[in-house]
Amino acid sequence: MLDTEALHETPEGIALRLRAAGAAPRALAWLGDLAVRIGLFTGLATIIALLGEAGQGVLLIVMFVLMWIYPILFELLMDGQTPASGWSACAWCTPMARRSASLPR
């Protein structure tokens, strides 16, 4: 069996045992993020379609932002957690994950 726990020591000298996310929560988070991106793209594409041929270039920029900037933005602004990874973490919580999540950062 794989050992999914890692021991981390805080600057104060407190040892924390943290469990890494498994395949199922990561897959759910990825699928959730994909659904969010597709929804945003579809909504924006519908609006941008009103621009005609000029909208094609804008749509390519929107696609680039959704595929590349979206994860980087959440990595920087939300401690590396995209919206869907927060949803899947709640669905697959374990007592250890709850304890470690409640610790101050």
**What pLDDT digit, counting tens, does each position of 33-47 carry?**
899 899 999 999 999
Confidence band (pLDDT; 50, 70, 90) for 2? low
Mean per-residue pLDDT over the chain, rounded: 78
Decide if 9 contacts 16 (C-beta within 8 A).
yes
The 3 state secondary structure assigned to 13-66 is CCEEEEECCCHHHHHHHHHHHHHHHHHHHHHHHHHHHHHCCHHHHHHHHHHHHH
- Domain spans, the chain: 22-94
| pLDDT (0 to 100) of residue 71 | 84
| pLDDT (0 to 100) of residue 63 | 92
The residue among 54 and 100 whose pLDDT is bigger is 54
pLDDT digits (tens, 9 = 90+) for 82-100: 887 776 555 444 444 444 5
| pLDDT (0 to 100) of residue 91 | 45
pLDDT digits (tens, 9 = 90+) for 64-84: 998 898 888 888 888 778 887
